[in-house]
């Protein structure tokens, strides 16, 4: 799979994402449901702790990708939902720590929402991946 960043401006690069990416040669596509801070039984973890929830949601995303024989380097699009956008952005260094080693900056959208499906959850991340 060949990824070519498309950035008519460079401001988004400072925030850790490309405006778009041209994907060529991808043969498998994985569309992941939103991953949150739940354990293997679906029980919410770390109520009202944004940083811990982002970390666990990323762990869960990586587990789904791994089960499909992929990793974060295969992610081509992210959708992120947060009940407090400012608090999520304060903790976005976690995103860089996870995606940075893979040298990818997938296009993303971050939306503020009034709540998520399970009370106490603050952060949800969905992804599209290709291999």
Three-state secondary-structure class, residue 95: helix
Helix (H) or strand (E) holding 87: helix 85-90
Q: What value does the mean pLDDT of the chain take?
A: 94
Q: Which CATH superfamily is domain 2-130 in?
A: RutC-like (3.30.1330.40)
Quick one: DSSP state of residue 35?
B
Residues contacting residue 23 through CB under 8 Å, at least 6 positions apart: 1, 2, 3, 76, 130
Closest CA to 1 of 34, 25, 37: 25
What's the pLDDT band for 35 if we cut at 50, 70, 90?
A: very high
pLDDT score of 129:
94
Q: Band the pLDDT of 13: cuts 50, 70, 90.
A: confident
Q: Is the pLDDT of residue 43 over 90?
A: yes
- Band the pLDDT of 60: cuts 50, 70, 90: very high
Question: By three-state DSSP, how is residue 86 classified?
Answer: helix
Q: What is the mean pLDDT of residues 53-75?
A: 96
CB distance 9 to 31 below 8 Å: no
| pLDDT at position 110 | 97
How far apart are alpha carbons 84 and 17 in whole angstroms? 20
The pLDDT value recorded for residue 62 is: 97
Mean pLDDT of 66-91: 97
Query: What is the average pLDDT across 72-99?
Result: 97
Domain boundaries, the chain: 2-130
């Amino acid at each position: 799979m060949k990824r070519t960043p498309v950035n008519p401006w460079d401001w988004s690069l400072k925030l850790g994402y490309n405006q778009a990416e041209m994907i060529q040669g991808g043969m498998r596509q994985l569309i992941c449901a939103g991953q949150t801070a739940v354990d293997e039984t679906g029980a919410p973890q770390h109520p009202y702790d944004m940083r811990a929830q982002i970390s666990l949601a990323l762990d869960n995303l990586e587990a789904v990708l791994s089960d499909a024989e992929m990793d974060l380097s295969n992610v081509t699009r992210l959708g992120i939902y947060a009940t407090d956008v400012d608090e999520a952005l304060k903790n976005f260094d976690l995103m860089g720590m996870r995606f940075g080693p893979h040298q990818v900056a997938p296009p993303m959208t971050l939306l503020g929402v009034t709540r998520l499906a399970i009370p106490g959850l603050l952060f949800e991340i969905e992804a599209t991946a290709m291999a």
